Amino acid sequence: MHLLIFDIDGTLATFAGITRVAFNQTFEHLFGQPGPWGQVLPHGKTDRAILRECLDVVQINGNFDAMFSKFVDNYLRDLQQALQTASKPRLMPGVRELLERLATNNTACLALGTGNVEEAARMKLRHLNVESFFPVGGFGEFTDERSELLADAVDNAARHFQCTFPPKNTWVIGDTTYDIEGAQALGLRALAVATGGLFSSDDLRRAKPDLLFEDLSDTEHVIKSLNLSD
């Protein structure tokens, strides 16, 4: 069996600034000043790491776990609201077709590997009607490190699907060098896709992914490249 671990932002979908709006709104509400989201380059980072860096930038100290927990409660409400009022979230090219094909492929299991906290991840995917493809995953509430959330994704998938996935058949699919490095740290394979905007395909190539695509629009080619049998 193969396990395919998908990143969300920049890979499955774009939320066109909605995450930033919600994050900054929550930050301002809780800490009384605008969130310095633009100064921390959130791409590829966990929600936990992003909040920690933002607090460092504006020099707010305190019990981080307590602040993070309060932040998440407020952020989920702000994100839900931002998704309702926004018109621009969309899946990346070819993603729905690819997910539909993979769902009927009996050699592939799907999981999420995202820096979003789980409920934010599910809210975003529900909004685009693709949440049900992902019964399980690794998320951003427990760690600042991408490789750790990917390890969670592998463990949770093994439990959920009652299956041990060999590392050579376990793919991390993402749009940043952090996704690639996280996969490599665990001895997993990396499929990079240059749809995220921050990293060009040349940037991604330098991190030496096993596969690199401009986007996921060529479903047959992606399936073949992953060595999935039909």
Query: Which residue minimizes CB distance to Mg ion?
Result: 10
Nearer to Mg ion, 7 or 47 (CB): 7
Other beta carbons less than 10 A from residue 228's beta carbon: 18
Residues 119-138 interacting with Mg ion (rule: CB under 5 A): none
Nearest distance from residue 210's CB to Mg ion, in Å? 18
Pick one of 2, 3, 9, 75: the residue that binds Mg ion (CB under 5 A).
Answer: 9
Nearer to Mg ion, 41 or 103 (CB): 41
Residues 24-53 interacting with Mg ion (rule: CB under 5 A): none
Contact segment (CB under 5 A) with Mg ion among 3-11, 133-141, 182-190, 203-211 equals 3-11
The owner of tokens 């602040």 is: 67
Given a contact cutoff of 8 angstroms between Cβ atoms, the answer to whether 117 and 143 are in contact is no
Contact segment (CB under 5 A) with Mg ion among 80-88, 154-162, 168-176, 206-214 equals 168-176
Spatial distance between the Cα atoms of 14 and 208, rounded to a whole number of angstroms: 24
Q: Pick the closest to residue 225 from 96, 113, 108, 130 (CA basis).
A: 108
Contact segment (CB under 5 A) with Mg ion among 4-12, 49-57, 134-142, 210-218 equals 4-12
Pick one of 10, 42, 94, 209: the residue that binds Mg ion (CB under 5 A).
Answer: 10
Pick one of 78, 141, 152, 175: the residue that binds Mg ion (CB under 5 A).
Answer: 175
Nearer to Mg ion, 10 or 35 (CB): 10
Nearest distance from residue 156's CB to Mg ion, in Å? 19
Spatial distance between the Cα atoms of 156 and 41, rounded to a whole number of angstroms: 28
Nearest distance from residue 116's CB to Mg ion, in Å? 9
Spatial distance between the Cα atoms of 25 and 42, rounded to a whole number of angstroms: 16
| Strand ranges, E, within the chain | 2-6, 13-14, 90-91, 108-113, 137-138, 170-174, 189-193, 211-213
Instruction: Determine whether 183 is exposed, middle or buried from the number of CB atoms within 10 Å of its CB (0-12, 13-18, 19+).
Output: buried
Binding site for Mg ion (CB under 5 A): 7, 9-10, 175
